Amino acid sequence: MLDKTASNYWKANLRIIGICMSIWALVSFGFGIILRPLLSGIRIGGTDLGFWFAQQGSILVFIALIFFYTWYMNRLDREYGVDEQ
């Protein structure tokens, strides 16, 4: 049973890492580079949205993902009984 619990814990961990990395790749490469011509017509803060994602959006999303990952992993650790407290 212990091996099954550890396997489920790591599957959940790898799943959330994959989701977070996919979101970050979509925002940084997708919105900032690939979709920039499509987003150039939308103005935000005096500049186009594609430039905003390339310069600030990907960094802000990365920071938000760090906080989300921390929150989620603390919850997952408590669920599987491997928390530090």
Task: Indicate the pLDDT class of residue 71, thresholds 50, 70 and 90.
Answer: very high
Task: Indicate the pLDDT class of residue 22, thresholds 50, 70 and 90.
Answer: very high
pLDDT, average across residues 61-75: 95
Q: Three-state SS string across the chain, please?
A: CHHHHHHHHHHHHHHHHHHHHHHHHHHHHHHHHHCHHHHCCCEECCEEHHHHHHHHHHHHHHHHHHHHHHHHHHHHHHHHCCCCC
pLDDT, average across residues 18-47: 86
Q: Higher-confidence residue: 38 or 64?
A: 64
Q: Higher-confidence residue: 20 or 48?
A: 20
- Give pTM, 2 decimals: 0.79
Domain ranges of the chain: 16-79
Q: Is residue 1 over pLDDT 50?
A: no
pLDDT, average across residues 8-35: 90
